[in-house]
């Protein structure tokens, strides 16, 4: 006891009947650990660091009647190893880390009368573990003939039992246990889920497991563009299923999803779309899955454009600017910013969108002649690099060969310059600015980030009202430059 021993000794006398090695540093029981001591009857290996038992570690121990492995670090046991110990009567595995008990675990323990699995990590086991136990079968048979002389003691307490439908049969078994089968501690307690936590087995009634059944409160919804909308899916299943949503723009837009347990076997899943966009229209599929199967329900969302929409009504609603040309809708947004540039991403609503070519018009805002880039079909992203600091840019995306129209482009400004060229990385960390606000730009072309949209909207609207009401005048050159610099400063502060 309490030595630095790390392996089972190889020089054990062959006629030894009892071995006790405790509080040492054993980490495993390899094959043939005791093949020279076939007379062994009692093996105590408590409070070591055993994590692994080889399938043949108990080979040749046909006389073994007692095996104690209390206080080790076993996550699993090779139960078929007990084919080599037919005489085993006592098996002590308490205070380990066992989290699985296969249904045929006790098949080879026909003479076992004491089994201690307390203080482990068992959550769910089947009652078949015991119905497949030869000793239990003998007890049942002898009871039916009123001649029982067999007894069995089980210790199963202090495990984190998960009391849902998967434990239904086991709970019923525990409730039915009576002598000659004896529970060392009959008060087994649930650890989860919430509705049964800290309740004893005899206090709960569990349902049988069922496959998910999904439904929708409303399967067809219509919302005006810019309004929030919630899609709700109800699922009944046991055990509680996992819920997932699939929708057309899932790779581009991530919506908030919340799941609420409204009953022991009922879940309400809600997907919230803030400021619905035309491109959000489509079919939304809610899928519930548990180990028995899955079930899906579909919801159709229709997004309608406002009847009268002034340019200012959509300021900062979106990072992107929608483009509508001859029954074609192109939604453009700045999806990513890097040290030296941006990435554009767009989505088109048109017939055979995947077969269409697109044209990107890109350049400084004041340049009449823009760089023209053709994008082949099936591509909806493009990266732009080497942007200059403190520069106002304009980018437009149209179908091939079409000219951009007023209000179809994104306008953005990069961050302020710093005089030292070596600090370029700091100065260019691109700011897709809070509000691309130069008063010469039409109000319908302002681009704002979603993170600072409300602040941006307030600033833009206030400045535009002052300009419109004549409360603020700007000289054509000098004052416009000052306003632009002031805006950059406030933008940086907002970010």
Domain membership flag for residue 3: no
Question: For the stretch 223-240, what's the b/e string if a residue is b when 16 or more beta carbons lie within 10 angstroms of its beta carbon?
Answer: bebbeebebbbbbbbbbb
Sole residue written with tokens 């179908």: 399
Position 476 pLDDT exceeds 50: no
Over residues 393-422, mean pLDDT? 72
Is 256 in the same domain as 338?
A: no
**Residue 240 falls within a domain, yes or no?**
yes
Q: Can you give the pLDDT at residue 80?
A: 95
Do residues 231 and 192 share a domain? Answer: no
Given a cut of 80, whether residue 125 has pLDDT beyond it is yes
- Please state, in angstroms and rounded to a whole number, the distance separating the CA atoms of residues 184 and 429: 67
**Does 199 share its domain with 67?**
yes
Over the chain, what is the mean pLDDT? 79
Amino acid 299: pLDDT? 94
Considering only CA atoms, give the Rg of the chain.
36
Q: Which of 304, 330, 356 is the last residue of a domain?
A: 304
φ, ψ dihedrals at 131, nearest 5°: -70, -20
Q: Are residues 261 and 327 in the same domain?
A: no
CA distances from 289 to 152, 212, 267, 293 (A): 40, 7, 12, 6
- Rounded to whole angstroms, the Cα distance separating 91 from 153 reads 11
Q: Residue 288: what pLDDT? A: 94
160-191 in b/e burial notation, b at 16+ Cβ within 10 A? ebbbbbbbbbbbebbeeeeeebebeebebbbe
Please check the confidence at residue 57 and state whether its pLDDT lies above 50.
yes
Provide the percentage of residues in the chain whose pLDDT is more than 70: 75
pLDDT range class, residue 384, cuts 50, 70, 90 = confident
- CB of 72 closer than 8 Å to CB of 47: yes
Is 409 in the same domain as 275? no
> CA-to-CA distance for 267 and 212, rounded, in angstroms?
10
Residue 368 CB neighbour total at 10 angstroms: 6
At residue 346, the pLDDT reads 78
For residue 382, is pLDDT > 90? Answer: no
d(CA 75, CA 297): 40
pLDDT digits 0-9 by tens, 86-112:
999 999 999 999 999 999 999 999 999
Residue 243 forms part of a structural domain: yes
Q: How far is the CA of 7 from the CAs of 19, 33, 75, 397, 415, in angstroms?
A: 14, 9, 20, 72, 67
pLDDT at 442: 33
Output the DSSP codes for 296-310: EEEEEEEEE--SS--
Sheet holding 371-375, edge to edge: 371-375, 358-364, 392-399, 409-413
Residues 296 and 333 both lie in one domain: no
d(CA 364, CA 368): 9
Of 135-144, 210-219, 312-321, 392-401, which gets the smallest average pLDDT?
312-321
pLDDT category of residue 30 using cuts at 50, 70 and 90: very high
**Does residue 429 form part of some domain?**
yes
Query: Structurally, how many domains does the chain consist of?
Result: 3
Q: Which residues contact 403 (CB under 8 A, 6 or more apart)?
A: none
pLDDT per residue as tens digits for the range 293-349 = 999 999 999 988 765 433 333 333 333 444 444 456 677 778 777 766 888 887 776
Q: Indicate whether 108 and 49 sit together in one domain.
A: yes
Confidence of residue 265 (pLDDT cuts 50, 70, 90): confident
Contact between 162 and 191 (Cβ < 8 Å): yes
What CATH number corresponds to the domain at position 444?
2.60.40.10
Tell me how many degrees the CA angle 268-271-274 measures, rounded to the nearest 5: 145
Range with top average pLDDT, 56-60, 206-210, 439-443: 56-60
- HSE, side-chain direction, 13 A CA sphere, residue 192: 10
The region of weakest confidence among 150-159, 179-188, 291-300, 448-457 is 448-457
The pLDDT, as a whole number, for residue 144 is 66
Which of the residue ranges 43-52, 106-115, 195-204, 460-469 would you say has the lowest mean pLDDT? 460-469
Q: Residue 198: count other Cβ atoms within 10 Å of its Cβ.
A: 10
Residue 489: Cβ within 10 Å count: 10
481-491 pLDDT, tens digit each: 444 444 444 44
Please give the average per-residue pLDDT across 183-196, as a whole number: 91
Which CATH number belongs to the domain containing residue 75 in this structure?
A: 3.80.10.10
Determine the structural domain holding residue 116 and report its residue range.
18-203
Instruction: Examine the fold and report which residue of 171, 203, 235 is the final residue of a domain before the chain moves on.
Output: 203
Residue 150 has pLDDT above 90, yes or no: no
| Together in a domain, 139 and 102 | yes
pLDDT of residue 445: 32
27 occurs within a structural domain: yes
Q: Pick 146 or 220 by higher pLDDT.
A: 220
**Are 60 and 177 found together in one domain?**
yes
Domain assignment present for 295: yes
Last residue of a domain, one of 183, 203, 223: 203
- Residues 76 and 55 reside in one and the same domain: yes
Is there a domain that residue 9 lies in? no
Residue 404 predicted with pLDDT over 50:
yes
Say if 334 falls within a structural domain.
yes
Shared domain check, 336 and 286: no
392 shares its domain with 373: yes
Higher-confidence residue of 148 and 174: namely 174
């Amino acid at each position: 006891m309490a030595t630095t021993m790390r392996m089972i000794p190889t020089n054990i006398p062959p006629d030894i009947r009892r071995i006790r090695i405790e509080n040492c540093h054993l980490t495993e029981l390899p094959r043939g650990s005791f093949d020279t001591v076939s007379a062994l009857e009692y093996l105590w290996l408590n409070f070591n660091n055993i994590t692994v038992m080889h399938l043949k570690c108990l080979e040749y121990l046909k006389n073994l009647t007692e095996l104690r492995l209390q206080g080790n670090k076993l996550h699993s046991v090779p139960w078929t190893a007990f084919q080599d110990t037919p005489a085993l009567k006592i098996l002590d595995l308490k205070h380990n880390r066992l989290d699985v008990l296969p249904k045929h675990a006790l098949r080879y323990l026909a003479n076992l009368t004491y089994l201690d699995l307390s203080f482990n990590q068992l959550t769910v086991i089947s009652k078949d573990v015991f119905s497949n136990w030869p000793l239990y079968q003998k007890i049942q048979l002898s009871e039916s003939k009123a001649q029982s002389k067999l007894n069995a003691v089980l210790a199963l307490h202090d495990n984190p039992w998960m009391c849902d439908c998967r434990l239904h049969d086991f709970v019923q078994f525990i409730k039915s246990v009576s002598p000659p089968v004896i529970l060392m501690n009959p008060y087994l307690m649930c650890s989860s889920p919430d509705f049964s936590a800290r309740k004893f087995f005899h206090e709960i009634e569990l349902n049988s497991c069922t496959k998910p059944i999904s439904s929708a409160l409303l399967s067809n919804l219509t919302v005006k563009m810019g309004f929030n909308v919630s899609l709700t899916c109800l699922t009944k299943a046991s055990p509680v299923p996992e819920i997932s949503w699939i929708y057309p723009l899932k790779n581009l837009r991530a919506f908030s999803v919340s799941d609420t347990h409204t009953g022991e076997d009922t879940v309400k899943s809600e997907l919230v779309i803030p400021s619905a966009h035309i491109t959000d229209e489509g079919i939304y599929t809610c899928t519930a899955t548990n180990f028995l199967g899955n079930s899906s329900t579909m919801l159709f969302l229709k997004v309608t454009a406002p009847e009268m929409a002034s340019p200012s009504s959509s300021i900062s609603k979106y990072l992107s600017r929608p483009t509508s040309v001859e029954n074609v809708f192109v939604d453009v947004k700045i999806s990513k910013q890097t040290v030296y540039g941006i990435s554009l991403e767009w989505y088109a609503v048109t017939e055979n969108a995947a077969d269409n070519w697109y044209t990107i018009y890109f350049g400084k805002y004041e340049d009449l002649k823009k760089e023209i880039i053709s994008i082949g079909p099936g591509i909806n992203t493009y990266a732009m690099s080497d942007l200059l600091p403190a520069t106002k840019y304009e980018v437009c995306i149209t179908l091939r060969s079409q000219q951009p129209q007023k209000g179809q482009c994104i306008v953005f400004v990069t961050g302020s310059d710093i005089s030292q060229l070596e600090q370029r990385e700091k100065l260019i960390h691109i700011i897709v600015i809070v509000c691309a606000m130069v008063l010469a730009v039409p109000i319908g072309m302002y681009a704002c980030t979603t993170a600072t949209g409300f602040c941006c909207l307030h600033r833009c609207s206030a400045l535009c009202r002052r300009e419109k009401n004549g409360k603020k005048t700007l000289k054509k050159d000098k004052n416009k430059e000052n306003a632009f610099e002031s805006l950059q400063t406030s933008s940086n502060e907002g970010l």
